[in-house]
Chain A
């Protein structure tokens, strides 16, 4: 399997950088999700007319 994975040179440090970037993004998205959750507590989502189709 390694053979196929490495046919394009992933580049020096390109794997390591992803680990670092992914960690940074993990923190960013964690706080963003909290922000979105708190916001959602205070704002009511507007109901679309399609949400409640007539029975």
Chain B
């Protein structure tokens, strides 16, 4: 076996090990310098307990130096995560639960004489219907006299965006994209309204934290005494504060869409039946993406068939509702995502390689775009050829709905807009998509005037 492997571009910060890919399999190397901590993590029973509680991603230990590195101590093969998502693609409650999970892990680890040495949302991923912690090398031996090394990181990565959304009542996922290392405390402190200072815990963790941090530049070597109880108090305070935070306004423009649409019986039911019938006859569909999914009604159809579905919508409120729903029902085949298709997540970080773009992460077997086309073509002025290109980058099989210009929804959209959409015709739509796809099936949905298409990419 050759020693050729690819160092994962996002795994460079921590000297205790790194992620690499070899023959299309992802591994994690533990370096010699982290041996003491890692051995304690395993021998104390911490790892086993966290895996049993479904809080930490399990791994298999491979006793082979696959990188040929002189620093090698162990190789781990973590369980596969099919789709990596980032905090700016999560809804409020998703980020909130990820924050609470981080604090829970810290507390659990402390019980085994360990502590979390970092606290970033990137260490948390969606796995079988819930969030799970993935960074096995984040646990190190706990020195009770030291404060929590990852405290500021936690405040900037989790607490800052949550508080800003809570107080502004606005979905601010984009802010997390602008500040990948967390929103700096000074920024959060100045953006939060003055009344947030009257909340003791917000005042302490953000405003006071920002003020003292900026003043004491020369005091890094100051001897500070801490204790386990003090850290537990800190965690209890963060937990209490985060638990009380509320998501921004849940009633969005599209929230009532299905409530209203479902009243049109000649529309939703036949639409479900057509899709169900088509999907049943499609071979080998294991993964799918439902774009513009709203409340995820059609994702659920696919999930019920055992297909892993990425359920994406640009409306953070819809995705938050869907997440709450999944938590209640225990659905494991749906992964909710906040994505604006006219501006999907870019490739970011060092060399633009640390976090890959949304489109690079997506390839799936089936793409579904229901009642979506007109939002992109008319709402965002994206021409059909560009939309067709977007879909062909994401998957090979496509179920897409064409909504004619005479439709009530489009008339509503054009009421406050100049009609510059002479090209919005079914003919132009099919010709643009035919460049990449072969139209397999076409069926009108009841008497709604809307048409469903099943397409397959040219090979």
Contact = CB atoms under 8 A, between A and B. Distances in A.
Contacts of B218: 12
Contacts of B224: 15-16, 18-19
B219 A13 contact: yes
Contacts of B37: 4
A12 B112 CA distance: 29
A55 interface: no
Contact of B222 (A1, A16, A22): A16
A7 B13 contact: yes
Most buried by A among B205, B212, B231: B212
A19 B224 CA distance: 7
Contact of A4 (B34, B151, B208, B230): B34
Contacts of B146: 5, 15
A38 B34 CA distance: 48
Interface in B325-372: none
B237 interface: yes
A13 B205 contact: no
A23 B16 CA distance: 32
Most buried by A among B16, B218, B230: B230
Contact of A17 (B13, B118, B212, B217): B212
Contacts of B219: 12-13, 16
Interface in B102-149: 117-118, 140-141, 143, 146-149
Contacts of A25: 204, 230, 233-234, 236-237
Contacts of A1: 140-141, 143
A3 interface: yes
A18 to B, nearest CB: 4
Interface in B221-253: 222, 224-226, 229-231, 233-234, 236-237
B440 interface: no
B329 to A, nearest CB: 25
B204 A21 contact: yes
B213 interface: yes
Interface string A13-39: 111111111111110110000000000
Contacts of A29: 233, 236
B304 interface: no
B213 A8 contact: no
Interface of A: 1, 3-8, 10-26, 28-29
7 contacts: A4-B14, A4-B34, A13-B219, A14-B147, A25-B234, A26-B230, A29-B236
Interface of B: 13-16, 33-34, 37, 117-118, 140-141, 143, 146-153, 200, 204-205, 208-209, 212-220, 222, 224-226, 229-231, 233-234, 236-237
Given A16-B216, A18-B230, 15 more contacts: A4-B14, A4-B34, A5-B149, A7-B15, A7-B117, A13-B217, A15-B146, A16-B224, A17-B209, A18-B234, A19-B225, A20-B208, A22-B147, A25-B234, A25-B236
